[in-house]
Amino acid sequence: MMRRFAFLLLIPLAFGYTPPAAANYADHPRAQALLDTLRADYGFDTEALDAVRQSLAEARRLPELIQQERNAPERTRTWTEYRAMHISEAMIDKGVRFLREHAETLARAQAQYGVPPEVIVAILGIETRYGGYTGRTRVLDALATQGFDHPSRTPFFFSELTAFFVLAHESGMDPTKPKGSYAGAMGWAQFMPSNIRRLAVDFNDDGTVDLWTPEDAIGSIARYLIDYDPASAWRPDEAMTLAPRRFEVRADAITFNPKRPNSTIAALARLGAEPTRSAPPEQPAGLLELERSEGRSFLIALPNFFSVMRYNPRTYYAMAVGELAEGISRATGHPPGRYMP
């Protein structure tokens, strides 16, 4: 149970920035449904509900955030383009430095949750450049805009807006203050409000769950990969993908880039994708098709690949985490192939 929640507030960087006009979401037709949920499901009293109304009245509509969410790079770029955004020698070198600087905390997270340091560090690298950029959009504005006005994902963001107000109420946080991503994700680990409430941990034992600190971010990421979906929990000492020895799979034989395993190693071998390294025949697996500048390539995805996809359900995201983790692993002296071929 959280005792309190600390937030690091970011100062807007744009000189001469003029805020957009308030949307007064307190008058939105669905605002009452939000208030009713907070009252019925979370015990908000009249004073607490009035505070929510005031916050909604102060929220600003930022339609450009909806466009950002719909045009996210992992949705719209090729793998070559997306990879270039996240995988470089500089990113690997910075990841190695972060790993060494926080070796004790990472080792403790691995001992407690079984998630290796390279994977935790890679997620931090992809999400926020190892804590260097956690977003400068006010979370209230992001979640109100997406939760009330998104044309296709309103239910998801509306539930996160609800969770955000519950989190603020439980922790004594001013909901008009914290800043994060265009989608309302917060901290070094970029957790959505519902996941902060459910999965974030006080890993430095200071009585505060603070995802703007490396210790709590490290512990929370490790716990996420285990507890978010126990059926897809990270498996210690297993890779994320394998390369096929040969690839003769017909395009209509199986769905590529699934969000969960949709086959097994043995079944994929029968279809024409036999792995270069041995793996248990009944191991769950799937096939990845990656669009590169020079053409398409294929990999066999293992359970740990899909575990990372619980963090962000996009093939290219999990690929970037795997390649960055592999690069950091090799740079610290481990043999190749721990995560990616």
Is the pLDDT score of 14 beyond 50?
no
If one counts every other C-beta atom within 10 angstroms of the C-beta of residue 30, the result is 13
Listed in sequence order, the residues at least 6 apart from 270 whose beta carbon sits closer than 8 Å to its beta carbon are none
Is the pLDDT score of 237 beyond 70?
yes
Q: Which of 127, 160, 215, 323 is catalytic?
A: 127
Is the pLDDT score of 11 beyond 50?
no
> CA distances (Å), 332 to each of 96, 97, 227, 277, 336, in order?
7, 10, 28, 23, 11
- Express each pLDDT in 124-140 by its tens digit: 999 999 999 999 999 99
Strand (E) positions, the chain?
137-138, 179-180, 241-242, 263-264, 284-292, 295-301
Residue located via tokens 């992001």: 142
> In which order are the strands placed within the sheet that holds 295-301?
241-242, 295-301, 284-292, 263-264
Q: What is the pLDDT of residue 22?
A: 56
Is the pLDDT score of 10 beyond 50?
no
Q: Give the closest residue to 52 by CA, choosing from 81, 76, 31.
A: 31
Each domain of the chain, given as residue ranges in start order, spans: 25-70+134-230
Looking at residues 11-20, what average pLDDT do you find? 38
- Express each pLDDT in 137-164 by its tens digit: 999 999 999 999 999 999 999 999 999 9
Is the pLDDT score of 262 beyond 50?
yes
Q: Is 296 strand, coil or helix? A: strand
What are the φ/ψ torsions at residue 278 (nearest 5 degrees)?
-70, 145
- Express each pLDDT in 51-84 by its tens digit: 999 999 999 999 999 999 999 998 889 999 999 9
226, amino acid identity? I
Listed in sequence order, the residues at least 6 apart from 230 whose beta carbon sits closer than 8 Å to its beta carbon are none
Q: What is the pLDDT of residue 295?
A: 83
222, amino acid identity? A
Using DSSP bridges, classify how beta strands 137-138 and 263-264 pair: parallel, antiparallel or unpaired.
unpaired
Looking at residues 299-319, what average pLDDT do you find? 97
Burial (CB count <10 Å: 0-12, 13-18, 19+), residue 90: exposed
Residues 76, 95: Cα–Cα separation, whole Å? 26
Question: Are 150 and 182 spatial neighbours (Cβ–Cβ below 8 Å)?
Answer: no
Q: What is the DSSP letter of 241?
A: E
Looking at residues 155-175, what average pLDDT do you find? 97
Q: Give the closest residue to 183 by CA, choosing from 223, 122, 123, 134.
A: 134
Tell me the pTM: 0.92
Please name the CATH architecture into which domain 25-70+134-230 falls: Orthogonal Bundle (1.10)
Q: What is the pLDDT of residue 5?
A: 52
Looking at residues 238-255, what average pLDDT do you find? 95
Active site residue 127: yes
